[in-house]
Amino acid sequence: MPKRFNVVRAASALVEATLKTDKQVSIEFGVSIRTIEQWRSRLKVDEELQREFRRMANEKLSQWVGEIPNSLELAIGFIASAARTGDTTNPDMVKAITGAIATLNDVFVIQAAIQQRQQGGE
């Protein structure tokens, strides 16, 4: 007998798949990659699944976004302190600070990409 489709499970897996690979999600949820792909296809036509996906995606994004300001404030403070107290003639120090700033930028880019994926974009 085929298993009954579970909207909550599928939506939860698809939200996770916006942040992880299909392989990771398939292992986490105990399903095949093909099942993840089928759920993603069903998301395009199933209004109940769309509603649950949007609800869960917004909840997940709100949690994640809620943590960003404090994390960024701490990171920026650390970078500023390191930049003030570090040896600016040391190439490794300059590289580390530059890398940290690039990482902060990446956070904003990733956040935008996640929002777009969760809103149904690719």
Q: How far apart are CA 57 and CA 16, in angstroms?
A: 9
Of the pLDDT bands very low, low, confident and very high (cuts 50, 70, 90), residue 101 is: confident
For the entire predicted model, the pTM comes to 0.60
Mind listing the pLDDT tens digit for each residue in 6-16?
A: 999 999 999 99
Predicted pLDDT at 43: 96
Instruction: Provide mean pLDDT across the span 61-84.
Output: 78
Higher pLDDT, 30 or 108: 30
Q: How distant, in Å, are the alpha carbons of 4, 97, 114, 118 from that of 39?
A: 13, 42, 18, 14
| DSSP symbol at 31 | -
Predicted pLDDT at 2: 57
Q: How far apart are CA 92 and CA 86, in angstroms?
A: 10
